[in-house]
Amino acid sequence: MESPRDELDLDRSQVTKAVQALQACLKSSSLSQKLFENDGQAISLLLTQWKIPRKEQTIRISLPHGLRTESGDVCLFTRDEPRMTSEQTVRFYKKLLTERGLKNAIEVIPFNMLKTEYKPFEAKRRLLGNFDLFLSDARIRRRLPSHIGKHFYERKKAPLSVDLESKHLVRDMARLIQGTSLTVSNKGSCCMVRVAHSGMTADEMVENVMTAVSTISAKLAMTGKNIKIIHLKSQTSVALPIYTSDLSHLAVVEEARKKARSTKGAKKRKRENKNREVSDLKTKETEEEKDSKEEEIPQLVPIEMPTKKPKQETISKQGLKKVPKPAAGKGLKKTVKDTKLAKKTPKVTARGLKRKAKNK
């Protein structure tokens, strides 16, 4: 079976014929002739895939012949330098790029200026239309989406990240400016990438096309054999086919997908088994620790209750303390003897004596 990462067998003569036919088509039109003189026509590759990918992918492509001139429209978003105004930050980064040897003219926009001057919707739309390529400092890349809006991503002009602190800054920026990028969407089977412009010669176009196709087939997430048809076209011309895949490639793609599923399932099962073993080992260790830490429970012994009641302790009269009598009021001077004397004795009558006698 063929390797899934094999490059496509692109016929160079077929690409040359398509490029020559495209140039003849552009020259035959008067409108295309004006655009051809001004380098206005973009030439792109249209790729059709056998299977729609599951995830979106962005592929960066380095081209032997740059798409943009030194006066190309390139914008760079930078961070705000401490203790510097926006104008000072712009001068600082422009001086840095010129000292490093970058020849391209780049418009620098600090982050604070982007938040204030380009906050309205119309300002963002003008910014999107004024530049063809946007670069961003890697230190502020994650903060940009909420400030530039969704139109940058819908128009495939999302800022490309670049490390401004890198030692190879000029080389990295030149690759981004002179190269191109392909966004492989997971919402359809077709995608397009710009590889040349109408101001190039036929040989330069052919070299760019060959390099782009080899890079895409090598970096494509699924397989290089997933590419079904490749067309070459301009903005106003028809699509000219330069590559058609064999039907056997579909079987290769399906087999590679099944193999990827099986390997993914095997990895998932292996990971689950490993996690289960680790959890079982942990539970076993915790149970052993609990068993070692547990103490023996003492046996309960019944308490014998005494059968005889304990003798009540007698308190001697000497031990009792005399409690002082409460002070009586002025009107209360009666004592206990007076209360006994005050009790009335019952009267003795003849009837009472007779009843006592009968009871006896």
Q: How does pLDDT run across 288-314, given as a tens digit for each residue?
A: 666 665 555 556 666 666 665 555 555
Domain limits for position 90: 68-178
- Those residues whose C-beta lies under 8 Å from the C-beta of residue 237, and which sit 6 or more positions away, are 22, 25, 26
In a domain, 72, yes or no: yes
| Averaged pLDDT of the chain | 78
In a domain, 111, yes or no: yes
Q: Is 53 left (phi over 0), alpha (psi -120 to 50) or beta?
A: beta
CATH code of the domain in which 169 resides: 3.40.50.790
**Buried b or exposed e, range 269-305, using 16+ CB within 10 angstroms:** eeeeeeeeeeeeeeeeeeeeeeeeeeeeeeeeeeeee
Query: Could you tell me if residue 233 is inside a domain?
Result: no
Percent of the chain with pLDDT over 70: 69
Pairing of strands 227-233, 240-244: antiparallel
Q: Which of 230-239, 266-275, 339-348 has the highest mean pLDDT?
A: 230-239
Does 327 fall in a domain? no
What is the average per-residue pLDDT within 206-212? 93
Would residue 108 count as lying in a domain? yes
Number of domains in the chain: 1
pLDDT tens-digit readout, 77-99: 999 999 899 999 999 999 998 88
Q: Is 355 a member of any domain?
A: no
Q: Is residue 173 part of a domain?
A: yes
136 domain-assigned: yes
